[in-house]
Amino acid sequence: MDVVVVGSCNIDLISYATHLPKEGETITGTKFSTGFGGKGANQCVTAGKLGAKVAMVSKVGNDAFGQDYLKNLQDCNVNCGQVKVVDDVSTGVAAITVADNGSNCIIIVPGANDLLTVSDVEAAEDLIKSSKVLVCQNEIPSVISLAAMKSASNHKVKVIYNPAPAQKDFNPELFSLPDFFCPNETEAELLTGCPVESIDDAMKACRDLTENHGCNSVIITMGKNGAVYQQRRGVDPLHIPVDAVAAVDTTGAGDSFIGSLAYFLATRPELPVPEMIKRASFIASVSVTKPGTQISYPRADELPAHIFS
């Protein structure tokens, strides 16, 4: 395996309406769509669409959503040997309402994602140790991510950790175990307690994360401003810009970046990390020019050849 992701699968249920309903109000919407989401699966599918050999360690419910999700993963060439279907719980869902002016509200019900156990990670140990890169996020219990990261680092497998969505109760080992600690601006702000609004702020946040929290490499994604990278404590952070695009839907851009970074770390380990970040940012910028999440992620044959050179 190139990339293994221990993380979430969620079905997105998206209702569009002129405005968001108030408490007790029933309104008629204008459009409905479903999508495959969950940060873990998004990152896994990104790397798979680029051509990496990918596997997912996850749980879905024994319901129609779970069956749909398994089929989606198989269609995206994701190895599902460690995706378990569990009874008496729903597949993870995100019920999303989007108003005409773009404001939204979201309820995520983790369902089966919350039932991942340390023994599921133990059962996946052979898979993890045979992979080049492990990727974890925060949509499953943090003890599970920790167990997976420990297993990976025991076997010298590179670890990318995307601390998203942001969490306040943070086990300090989550800072020091990963090789690459990759928050966005919001998450970096919450974890460091300093505002992260500019490139300079992000550089300060990198220094705080490496000097005061024990992070190894830090990459902060900055939307249209690309990313800021600090290789390790004491080294100057670098700004790695991305070319402007006409953004249509930025949902899942961060996941596209993380999955692409995992792809390059696993398949092109000889590339300098700033070059991997530049290419991953480009791929994420392509994803924001199309609507949807996983369906907006480009396949290898839809990208220019220099991305793979």
Amino acid, res. 126? D
Q: Is 193 annotated as belonging to a binding site?
A: no
Whichever of 55 and 220 has its CB closer to ligand NAG, that residue is: 220
Which residues in the chain belong to E strands, given as ranges? 3-6, 10-17, 31-37, 54-61, 78-86, 92-99, 104-109, 133-136, 158-161, 180-181, 217-221, 227-230, 238-240
Which tokens in the block code for residue 81? 């040997």
| 10-18, 216-224, 267-275, 294-302 -> range binding ligand ADP (CB under 6 A) | 216-224
Q: Out of 149, 227, 228, 266, which residue is the one contacting ligand ADP (CB under 6 A)? A: 227
Q: Is 41 annotated as belonging to a binding site?
A: yes
Which of ligand NAG, ligand ADP, none sits in contact with 102, Cβ below 5 to 8 A by type?
ligand NAG
Catalytic residue among 63, 120, 201, 255: 255
Q: Is 40 annotated as belonging to a binding site?
A: yes
Q: Is 254 annotated as belonging to a binding site?
A: yes
CB burial string 166-198: b at 16+ within 10 A, e below: eeeeeeeebbebbbbbbbbbebbbbbbeeebee
Provide the minimum distance between the beta carbon of 84 and ligand ADP in the complex, in angstroms, as a whole number: 28
| 107-115, 152-160, 201-209, 243-251 -> range binding ligand ADP (CB under 6 A) | 243-251
Q: Is 139 annotated as belonging to a binding site?
A: yes
Q: Out of 184, 216, 231, 267, which residue is the one contacting ligand ADP (CB under 6 A)? A: 184
CA distance 40 to 151: 18
Identify which of 220, 187, 185 has the alpha carbon closest to the alpha carbon of residue 206: 220
Provide the minimum distance between the beta carbon of 236 and ligand ADP in the complex, in angstroms, as a whole number: 19
Provide the minimum distance between the beta carbon of 199 and ligand ADP in the complex, in angstroms, as a whole number: 12
Which of ligand ADP, ligand NAG, none sits in contact with 86, Cβ below 5 to 8 A by type?
none
Q: Is 208 a catalytic residue?
A: no
Identify which of 180, 211, 179, 178 has the alpha carbon closest to the alpha carbon of residue 194: 211
How buried is 106 (Cβ within 10 angstroms: 0-12 exposed, 13-18 middle, 19+ buried)?
exposed
Residues at the site binding ligand NAG, with contacts judged by CB under 6 A: 19, 99, 101-103, 164-165, 184-187, 223, 254
How many residues comprise the chain? 309
Please identify every residue annotated as catalytic. 255
